[in-house]
Amino acid sequence: MTIELSPIDRAKFVAARRAADFVEDGMRVGLGTGSTAAWLVRCLGEMVRDHGLRIKGVPTSARTAELARDMGINVISLDEARWLDLTIDGADEFDDELNLIKGGGGALLQEKIVATASDQMIVIADAAKEVEHLGAFPLPCEVIPFGWRTTQALIEETLVAMDVMGRASSLRMNGDKPYITDEGNYIVDLHLNRIGNARQLAMVLNQMPGVVENGLFIDICDVVVIGHSDGRVELRDINEGTATEEKIDFAETDNLFSDLGD
């Protein structure tokens, strides 16, 4: 049986498939959260199952940990690993300097901790995630529940002095209740439209009492792997200053896609 993927899923899959080639036997690997990162976990699971790859995976969320275990990957904590060879994760936006907005899946805190505890971070994304300026995607800020309305008001007041186009914010919801992160916090999404100085904004946000972390990943990503629906992948290495393009050929078979109902 063959499973037909949508164009966007094909793009995500080929990016994940190519990024999996960076993983070598014996590595400690950070496993990202989100739909694109889930393809990566499936690809690595296939390599573990069918090719004997031996890795230790450090997940960035409870749902990634569950998927990784289901795929047969040896899951350990960051405290056990202490330091990682590589982290592979998705992004909600990236610019030409490989700065990112992450946190659409609600795991930005663990994602940033894991990424910064790695020798290298590789981002996998479809081409639609590339932007000239960050900010069209809402910027998540993880905040503690205590006094969150005050924290939200302080954020909005501070945004007046920032180089952004919008200053509205909203509490992320899960039905009729606030969304709760794996760390028991809330997320306030900032609707900025365009961020002129992402580095400055990231520093200012994290200085506010009540803000645990923000979704701006500055100078953390080393390589981005961009997938296209026709099987092309672009690799951009910010450290080497290189950009290359390849073509990924694959068969959409039950072997990899049998768990898509999860």
Residues classed as catalytic:
111
* Residue 102 annotated as lining a ligand binding site: yes
* Residue 241 annotated as lining a ligand binding site: no
* Residue 261 annotated as lining a ligand binding site: no
* Residue 202 annotated as lining a ligand binding site: no
User: What does the alpha-carbon distance between residue 115 and residue 129 come to, in Å, rounded to a whole number?
Assistant: 19
* Residue 184 annotated as lining a ligand binding site: no
* Residue 92 annotated as lining a ligand binding site: yes
Cα dist. 236→19, 125, 167, 214, 223 in Å?
A: 12, 12, 32, 25, 6
**Residue spans of beta strands (DSSP E) within the chain:** 28-31, 56-59, 74-75, 86-89, 93-94, 100-101, 121-126, 139-143, 168-171, 173-174, 177-178, 186-191, 211-214, 216-217, 223-227, 232-237, 242-247
User: What does the alpha-carbon distance between residue 132 and residue 60 come to, in Å, rounded to a whole number?
Assistant: 27
* Residue 91 annotated as lining a ligand binding site: yes
* Residue 176 annotated as lining a ligand binding site: no
Annotated binding site for substrate: 33-36, 89-92, 102-105, 129
